[in-house]
Structure 1
Amino acid sequence: MPVQLYLLALAIFAMGTSEFMLAGLLPDLAADLDVSLGTAGLLTSAFAIGMVVGAPLMAALARNWPGRSSLLGFLALFLAAHVVGAIADGFVVLLVTRVVAALANAGFLAVALTTAAGLVPPDRKGRALAVLLSGTTIATIAGVPGGALLGSYLGWRATFWAVAILCVPAVLGLLRAIPVQRMDRPVLRGELAQLRRPRLIRVMLLGALVNAATFGTFTYLAPIVTAVAGLGTGWISVALVLFGLGSFAGVTAAGQLSDHRSGLVVAVGGPLLLLGWVSLALLADHPIVLLGLAFVQGALSFAVGSTLIARVLYEAAEAPTMAGSYATAALNVGAAAGPFIAGLTLTTRFAELGPVWVSSLLVVLALALASAGGLAVTERDPARAGG
């Protein structure tokens, strides 16, 4: 794989750390800024909304810029948002920086996906995507726990500074490694018209559903570990790291298969993913089972999810400047909707296990949609697909 992919993955590692780090920082942040915990939680919602809105908006804005200029511009904006966030003296300013950071993150990821697809042969987009998403999975393994640890010793502002510093080598590397290239851009209306193709919409929905299931439970894994399994708070980090290790293994394995065997990954991994969520809902009170399934579900979720997102890039091949934004939107609609829906179940009779049942239901819907469209739909060459 080209070295440029790993530099892009480094930037995505920093962005993934930023996206998930607030889970361990909110209590101290709320106390420091003198707001309620619920108000502080709006920072997470603002970031998620910014990601969903930002993907197509930023991609459309930057489509006429050279790829390197777009990547460097978005990364510099992301870095600046974290510097301002680190010195913010009020909640409103911090909230604005989270929205700006999310827009920059969404724009960067959308352009990075398109850039990655152009750095490899046409039949290796899945492998390129696996390298990019490894940045996100490593963030869940090391970045998020490391950020929480740093925040506990030096305060939440130190974590914002750390994310900004992580962006510096990525900026310098991309400045040297990504050549300045200009390409003929298709008419935007024609690229947006690709969204009328049922096959593209179907794969985007599948990706969103699987990602919603993933983050629906991942977001609320902490109370499952403590309240259901009866483990101490120290085991929360263990469960999160195991999930992250599984996600890295899953996205790496899927990268070898998603280009030519995507239908197989979905056909085998989808039912196993459903079985895993149901098993977790039923057996989460057994600590060993819970920890084992944290790894397994991380692997299956990212294997199936990353395969579907790779197929979005294939299906949107005739929208070269917007394909990355379509994939990013599918990812982040799921990341925003899953935790929201799952959170509604916490006050029901399902309590802490409600999110796991929501994840199960979302995978059922994904399998039904895949079955209705034919699992083999993800195998066909999109260049020859009629929609």
Structure 2
Amino acid sequence: MPPALIALALGAFGIGTTEFVIVGLLPEVAADLSVSIPAAGMLVTGYALAVVVGAPLMTAAGSRLPRKTMLAVLMSVFIAGNLLCALAESYPLLMAGRLIAALTHGAFFGIGSVVAAGLVAPDKRAGAIALMFTGLTVANVLGVPMGTFLGQHFGWRSTFWAVTAFGLVSLAGVLSLVPRQPPESAGLRGELAVFKRGQVWLALATTTLGFAGVFASFTYIAPMMTDVAGFSASAVTWLLVLFGAGLCVGNVVGGKMADRSLMPSLYAILAALAAVLAVFVFTARAPLPAALTLAVFGAVGFATVPPLQMRVMQKAEGAPALASAANIAAFNLGNALGAWLGGLAIDHHLGYTAPNWIGALLTTAGLATALLSGLLERRHRRRPAPPAPQTAPPAADRPPAAV
């Protein structure tokens, strides 16, 4: 395993921890800064929106820089954002720090995916991307609980001090372990040109719809487990650890499957995710089946990530960095879409299991988009090549001109 993948995974761990740890610290932040819980919750929404905006903008801004340099710049901005959070004495400053940190999220994962794929043989690229994303899954299993514990016992700012320190470690890893690469970018014009390809847009749509199913259900997992399955509120923590363990397993399995056969693996994983979400409607009504389904849901849900990321990079061949970052934005757009639609179902008194149905439908729509993409690709391959243009024969071979 190239050591550079470890540096990329460390960066992914720090970014993933920053994104999700605020959820566990909302009461402390709200009380300390004298804002409501819903206002504190906007720190989550603001971060997600900044990821969607920042992913293409930051990648485009650094399109002429060597990728190692751009990764180091992004990690430096990430450190600055978390440092501002740690020093924030007011809600606006904390929000500003969150937004600054979030601007680097999509670009780091997008450019990092391209770098990770370039470190290994072509038949191992999805696995390399999965290894980088392992940092994100471990952040959910370890980083978020540890950050929450730290913030609850030593003040919420201590969590951001810890993330800032970890960011420095990640920056050192990028500088020392990621190999120097010549500028390989096609430039901003070349990066933008790939968005003229219909297959790139189909890949982005597959990501948005397919992954929206995950957050349609996961966003409301706590009330589903307590009010429907019958778990106590204190059990939610270990249930989330169970879900996070599933994420780690699914990430690795998804990478291996995608390396063997990308599109068939994507079809199979999306179909399995839709099926698991549909089954979850019924298994959520009892503790043991609910816990087992939650673990499987985590595994299948995150198994989608490597093939979805690899598909976009494949279709954006020649200038993949901006499209790869746009795919990270598509993941976050799917998160917002799924959470919103799941919330609508609950608001209309359809129950806490209704988001599972919503998720199954969204993922099925993503599967349909992937199937359409594959069908169009097969038709293009079968299309006969245009005949070669006829050239005039040499003068010596021409018949004599009529007199």
Tell me the TM-score range normalised by the shorter chain.
over 0.9
Partner of 2:287: 287
Distance in 2 between the 1:327 and 1:65 partners? 20
Letter in 1 for 2:324: G
Distance in 2 between the 1:227 and 1:375 partners? 43
Partner of 1:103: 103
CA contact (8 A) 1:85 1:93 kept: yes
Residue-by-residue CA offset, 1:335-381 (whole Å, 9 max, x unaligned) = 23222332222222223223222211111211222333447959x99
> SS where residue 347 of structure 2 aligns?
coil
Q: Is residue 90 from structure 1 mapped to residue 58 from structure 2 by the alignment?
A: no
Partner of 2:265: 265
Letter in 1 for 2:36: S
CA contact (8 A) 1:263 1:376 kept: no
Q: Is residue 137 from structure 1 mapped to residue 137 from structure 2 by the alignment?
A: yes
Partner of 2:78: 78
Q: Is residue 314 from structure 1 mapped to residue 303 from structure 2 by the alignment?
A: no
CA contact (8 A) 1:75 1:105 kept: no
- Correspondences of 1:368-383 after superposition (within 5 Å): 368-374=368-374, 377=377
- Correspondences of 1:1-387 after superposition (within 5 Å): 1-374=1-374, 377=377
Residue-by-residue CA offset, 1:158-212 (whole Å, 9 max, x unaligned) = 2111211221221112211223333253242232121122222112211121221
Residue-by-residue CA offset, 1:14-53 (whole Å, 9 max, x unaligned) = 1101111121111111111111111111111110011111
Q: Structure 1 unaligned runs (5+)?
A: 382-387
Letter in 1 for 2:137: T
Larger displacement relative to structure 2 (290-299 or 215-224) = 215-224
Letter in 2 for 1:316: A
Aligned length: 380
Q: Against the structure 1 CA distance between its residues 184 and 304, is the aligned structure 2 distance closer, same or farther, given a 3 Å change threshold?
A: closer
CA contact (8 A) 2:216 2:339 kept: yes
Letter in 1 for 2:351: A
Residue-by-residue CA offset, 1:247-293 (whole Å, 9 max, x unaligned) = 11111012112123122322322222112101112221211111111
Distance in 2 between the 1:374 and 1:328 partners? 21
Letter in 1 for 2:174: L
CA contact (8 A) 1:212 1:337 kept: yes
Distance in 2 between the 1:289 and 1:192 partners? 47
Distance in 2 between the 1:267 and 1:324 partners? 20
Q: TM-score normalized by structure 1?
A: 0.93
Distance in 2 between the 1:111 and 1:373 partners? 24
RMSD: 2.0
Distance in 2 between the 1:18 and 1:249 partners? 22
> SS where residue 259 of structure 2 aligns?
coil
Deviation at 1:68, TM superposition (A): 2.0
Larger displacement relative to structure 2 (201-210 or 316-325) = 316-325
> SS where residue 231 of structure 1 aligns?
coil
Deviation at 1:70, TM superposition (A): 1.2
Distance in 2 between the 1:341 and 1:165 partners? 37
Distance in 2 between the 1:373 and 1:60 partners? 26
Q: Against the structure 1 CA distance between its residues 366 and 324, is the aligned structure 2 distance closer, same or farther, given a 3 Å change threshold?
A: closer
Distance in 1 between the 2:377 and 2:301 partners? 20
Distance in 2 between the 1:187 and 1:74 partners? 18
Q: Structure 2 unaligned runs (5+)?
A: 382-403
Letter in 2 for 1:336: A
Partner of 1:385: none
Distance in 2 between the 1:366 and 1:185 partners? 30
Deviation at 1:117, TM superposition (A): 2.1
Q: TM-score normalized by structure 2?
A: 0.89
Deviation at 1:81, TM superposition (A): 1.1
Residue-by-residue CA offset, 1:96-129 (whole Å, 9 max, x unaligned) = 1111110022222222122212222233220111
CA contact (8 A) 2:4 2:179 kept: no
CA contact (8 A) 2:12 2:135 kept: yes
Q: Against the structure 1 CA distance between its residues 359 and 316, is the aligned structure 2 distance closer, same or farther, given a 3 Å change threshold?
A: same
Structure with higher Rg: it is 2
Distance in 1 between the 2:260 and 2:230 partners? 43
Residue-by-residue CA offset, 1:284-315 (whole Å, 9 max, x unaligned) = 12111111111101111111232122111111
CA contact (8 A) 2:65 2:183 kept: no
Distance in 2 between the 1:184 and 1:273 partners? 36
Distance in 2 between the 1:184 and 1:140 partners? 33
Distance in 1 between the 2:314 and 2:326 partners? 11
Distance in 2 between the 1:150 and 1:352 partners? 31
Q: Against the structure 1 CA distance between its residues 184 and 361, is the aligned structure 2 distance closer, same or farther, given a 3 Å change threshold?
A: closer
Larger displacement relative to structure 2 (115-124 or 311-320) = 115-124
Distance in 2 between the 1:14 and 1:262 partners? 29
> SS where residue 25 of structure 1 aligns?
helix
Q: Against the structure 1 CA distance between its residues 225 and 317, is the aligned structure 2 distance closer, same or farther, given a 3 Å change threshold?
A: same
Q: Against the structure 1 CA distance between its residues 36 and 302, is the aligned structure 2 distance closer, same or farther, given a 3 Å change threshold?
A: same
Residue-by-residue CA offset, 1:306-335 (whole Å, 9 max, x unaligned) = 212211111111214424313322222222
Letter in 2 for 1:261: S
Partner of 2:399: none
> SS where residue 351 of structure 1 aligns?
coil
Distance in 2 between the 1:106 and 1:374 partners? 26
